[in-house]
Structure 1
Amino acid sequence: MRYFIELSYFGKAYHGWQNQPDSISVQEVLEENLSKVLRSKIDIVGAGRTDAGVHAKQMFAHFDNSEVDTALLKYKLNSMLPKDVAISEIFLVREDSHARFDATSRSYEYHIVQEKDAFSRDFAWFLKYELDVEKMNEAAAILKKYTNFKSFSKSRTDVKTYNCRIDHAVWKVEDNKLVFHITADRFLRNMVRAVVGTLVEIGQNKYPVSHIHEVIESKDRGMAGTSVPAHGLYLTRIEYPDNIRID
């Protein structure tokens, strides 16, 4: 039987989602505790990967096991997991369901604060420079006109395609923060942080709005902006087909 786990985590203490040989990951912590509760070696498959220090308000993973009491499993896991990892729900899905390949869209937010705030240093990027949000939104809208985003992909990645469909990309002012919202069918490694870095450079008037065309069409990571700090980035939502779940 296959189960989905919905969880969230604060990423500061972890070297990303995916297992690493010499660093602690969210996947490792979850697998270890799940295996203890179920008294057998359990491997989990995540909906994707997040970089070191990135947070997730919503993440999904799947695992296979015989029938379990999902409410009791959730309770036991939350009792054992570190305080920075929380299980929201565990539910039964179709046998052929896949946390990564069945996801139809993913959404991220990037948070920027522009006044020094002692309480947001681990939750948002402090950027003291003035930004032209209107220009940043003009450039963000252009992203939806393209599909190949090699320019924003981490170097030496093993992906088969650099194509993504961006459905939503906009900057908003929320609670004294500047928040970038982006939704796509998939993302490349480091893509959101590189996109934000590029848009911020346009917002600082280092480049005109049209620069975004040059960056994307160059397919050259060196043309894009600096990758912004990980602690301002949040995976916020992952969508699946309605019929994936067995109630």
Structure 2
Amino acid sequence: MRYFVAFSYFGKSYHGWQKQPNALTVQQVLEETFSTLLRQPVELMGAGRTDAGVHARQMYAHFEVDGIADKEDLCYRMNSFLPDDIAISGIYEVQDDAHARFDAEERTYEYWIVQEKNPFYMDTAHYIKYGLDLDKMNEAASLLLKYTDFECFSKSNTDVKTFLCKLKKAEWTIQGDVLVFTITADRFLRNMVRAIVGTLLEVGLGKCTLAGVEEIINSKDRSKAGVSVPAKGLYLTKVSYPSHIKLKS
């Protein structure tokens, strides 16, 4: 039977989501814990990949096992065994062909900026002491919605077959003492959000114009875009699926 698991994690201690040799990852920890408690090999397919140090408030993965008698009890036992920086919020039975990655319709990320030194944001936000023009940053963010090819913001030497993404939202807001960039799309390229934020910050600092942003996008050249901001400020906050894949509670 196929199941979805919903979970969250604080990414500081992990080398991203995807299993890698000689590096601790979220996928590895979850698979080992599931396999131990269910007493059968469990392999997870995640909704996507997050890089080293990136956090997830909502992430999904699917897996197949012979059957789970009590999903709520398994969640409780999983959380008891998992480290404090990974938590499971639910296990759901889904259609046999449901796919955590390919069936995801939208993904939303947030990036957090703070402008005053604060030890409580040391591992959760990027600190920038210089003044930022938020209006210009939002004007530049709105320009992104005109485009679909984001090769200029993709990690170099990647093996993806297309750089096309359908953006639905890109905006900066002030939430308390945090400046939050929220971006929603059907898919994201590796390093894309961090490169976008780095470029928009250059606009906010007066180092790049709105016309310059469009030139960067049209160039399809990663070297022309801004530097990637640190991973610690990036959060995967939502993954959306069509309702038809959800089955019994």
The bucket for the TM-score relative to the shorter chain is: over 0.9
Q: Distance in 2 between matches of 1:93 and 1:215?
A: 42
Q: TM-score normalised to the size of structure 1?
A: 0.99
Q: CA deviation at 1:40?
A: 1.1
Is the partner of 1:210 in helix, strand or coil? Answer: helix
State the number of aligned residues. 247
2:31 matches 1:31: yes
Gaps of 5+ in 1: none
2:51 matches 1:51: yes
1:208-237 Cα deviation digits (max 9, x unpaired): 111110010000000100000000000000
Indicate the larger mover: 65-74 or 84-93: 65-74
Q: Distance in 2 between matches of 1:199 and 1:8?
A: 27
Q: Distance in 1 between matches of 2:243 and 2:231?
A: 32
Letter in 1 for 2:19: N
1:81-106 Cα deviation digits (max 9, x unpaired): 00000000000000000000000000
Letter in 2 for 1:107: T
Within a 5 Å distance, the mapping from 1:205-216 to structure 2 comes to: 205-216=206-217
Q: Partner residue of 1:99? A: 100
1:91-133 Cα deviation digits (max 9, x unpaired): 0000000000000000000000000001111010011111000
Q: Partner residue of 1:83? A: 84
Is the partner of 1:60 in helix, strand or coil? Answer: strand
Q: Distance in 2 between matches of 1:129 and 1:22?
A: 39
Q: Partner residue of 1:67? A: 67
Is the partner of 2:210 in helix, strand or coil? Answer: coil
Q: Partner residue of 1:162? A: 163
Q: Distance in 2 between matches of 1:143 and 1:22?
A: 37
Is the partner of 1:42 in helix, strand or coil? Answer: coil
Q: Distance in 2 between matches of 1:86 and 1:129?
A: 36
Q: CA deviation at 1:75?
A: 0.9
Q: Distance in 1 between matches of 2:125 and 2:101?
A: 27
1:185-207 Cα deviation digits (max 9, x unpaired): 00000000000000000100001
Letter in 2 for 1:243: H
Q: CA deviation at 1:41?
A: 1.1
* Deviation >2 Å, runs of 4+: none
Q: Distance in 2 between matches of 1:184 and 1:211?
A: 23
Q: Distance in 1 between matches of 2:127 and 2:207?
A: 19
Q: Distance in 2 between matches of 1:166 and 1:91?
A: 28
Q: Distance in 2 between matches of 1:75 and 1:88?
A: 9
2:141 matches 1:140: yes
Q: Partner residue of 1:121? A: 122
Q: Distance in 2 between matches of 1:32 and 1:20?
A: 14
